[in-house]
């Protein structure tokens, strides 16, 4: 009796096990959606990278004509393509300055916002406001204001300001996230053990926040390096790299445009890789010191 009663249960379990291995149809539907998403995200960029490696016969559209680095050489040697080298150098310098300012001010703002103070909400929204303001309009505004005040538009003046209006709110938001994990008890413990406020910052706060600060720096650099809309009306006579690319799209009709795209992407990835590497290195150094007994 008992045997016949248990048998169907066993059979049912077996069926269940087999079906658990198979995926429901929704899995395939979502997988298809994801593949489409990845293609839409990376497809256009990959097209540009691929087309930049054509040889001298290359054109702006598929099919691919030959394989060479011709257009990369062309990019840095031909005058008709514009001042790519100079623009690149200027962009890097500007981005470096923006990064430093963004890190310093985001850190200070994040530090200030840990406690409530009168008007903090208004100040916060004022700061975030420039994130939602259309970049192009904001850029024109900065240009107009400089004009009105009699200040010449220049890369390290008006353009720097316009870019900071973009990178600072981002930096502060990231810093908020970083600081939210900072335990005030660490500060108090440092004070309890006799550290001065400066020692507390130097020996406790900065080292603990360092990975987050690197992340803010990364934001500052990449946002500035890629910035177009706000810089367009404020850069003065000299172009940054994105502005140079934009002007090239208007008058250059060769794959050197694509080669430029590939080159800047490599620079961006290098920067990101460097920063992530730094964060990993910081953590590994801590872990390594700990493990090396």
Partner 1 sequence: MTRAKGDIELAGVCKTYDGEVMAVEGVNLKIPDGAYCCLLGPSGCGKTTILRMIAGHEDPTDGEIVIGGDNVVGLPPVARRTAMMFQSYALFPHLTVRDNIAFALRVRGQSKAERYAAVDRLMDKVRLTELADRLPAQLSGGQQQRVALARAAITEPRVLLLDEPLSALDEQLRIQMRQELRRMQRELGITFVHVTHTQLEAIALADIVVVMEKGKIRQAGPARDVYAYPKDRYVAEFLGGQNVLAGRVESVNGSSIVVASPQLRGIEVPLRKGVAASAGGDVEFAVRRDEVELVRPGVTTLSPSVASVNSRVTAVEYQGSFVKVMLDAVPGQEFVAYVPERKFFDDPLAIGDLVLATWPSQSARLLD
Binding-site ranges for partner 1 (CB under 8 A): 183, 185-186, 188-196, 199, 203-204, 207-208, 286-287, 289-293
Report the C-alpha dihedral over residues 188, 193, 194, 199, rounded to 10 degrees: -70
CB under 8 Å to 236, separation ≥6 — which residues?
Answer: 152, 153, 154, 155, 157, 158, 159
Q: Which helix (H) or strand (E) holds 177?
A: helix 160-180
User: Taking a C-beta distance cutoff of 8 angstroms, is the pair 68, 56 a contact?
Assistant: yes
**194 or 237: CB nearest partner 1:** 194
As a whole number of angstroms, the distance between CA 118 and CA 127 comes to: 15
**134 or 207: CB nearest partner 1:** 207
SS3 13: helix
**40 or 185: CB nearest partner 1:** 185
- Tell me the CB-side half-sphere exposure of residue 132, using CA atoms within 13 A: 5
Smallest gap from Cβ 117 to partner 1, in A, equals 16
Smallest gap from Cβ 189 to partner 1, in A, equals 4
**89 or 197: CB nearest partner 1:** 197
Smallest gap from Cβ 182 to partner 1, in A, equals 10
**86 or 287: CB nearest partner 1:** 287
Smallest gap from Cβ 276 to partner 1, in A, equals 19
Smallest gap from Cβ 206 to partner 1, in A, equals 10
Q: Which of 56, 54, 77 is CA-nearest to residue 262?
A: 54
């Amino acid at each position: 009796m008992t045997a016949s009663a248990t048998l169907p249960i066993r059979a049912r379990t077996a069926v269940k096990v087999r079906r658990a291995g198979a995926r429901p149809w929704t899995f395939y539907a979502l997988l298809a959606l994801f593949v489409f998403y990845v293609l839409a995200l990376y497809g256009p960029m990959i097209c540009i990278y691929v087309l930049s490696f054509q040889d001298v016969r290359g054109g702006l559209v598929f099919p691919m004509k030959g394989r060479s680095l011709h257009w990369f050489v062309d990019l840095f040697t031909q005058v008709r393509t514009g001042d790519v080298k100079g623009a690149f150098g200027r962009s890097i310098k500007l981005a470096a300055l923006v990064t430093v300012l963004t890190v310093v001010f985001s850190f200070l703002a994040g530090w200030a916002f840990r406690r409530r103070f009168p008007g903090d909400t208004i100040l916060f929204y004022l700061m975030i406001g420039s994130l939602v303001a259309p970049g192009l309009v904001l850029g024109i505004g900065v240009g107009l204001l400089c004009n009105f005040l009699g200040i010449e538009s220049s890369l390290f003046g008006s353009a720097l300001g316009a870019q900071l209006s973009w990178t600072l709110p981002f930096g502060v938001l990231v810093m908020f996230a970083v600081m939210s994990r900072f335990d005030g008890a660490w500060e108090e413990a440092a004070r309890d053990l006799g550290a001065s406020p400066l020692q507390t910052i130097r020996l406790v706060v900065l080292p603990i926040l360092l990975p987050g600060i690197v992340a803010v720096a990364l934001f500052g650099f990449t946002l500035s390096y890629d910035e177009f809309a706000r810089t367009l009306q404020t850069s003065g006579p000299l172009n940054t790299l994105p502005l140079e690319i934009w002007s090239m799209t208007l008058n250059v009709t060769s794959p050197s445009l694509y080669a430029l795209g590939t080159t800047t992407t490599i620079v961006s990835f290098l920067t990101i890789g460097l920063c992530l590497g730094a964060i990993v290195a910081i953590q590994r150094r801590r872990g390594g010191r700990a493990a090396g007994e």
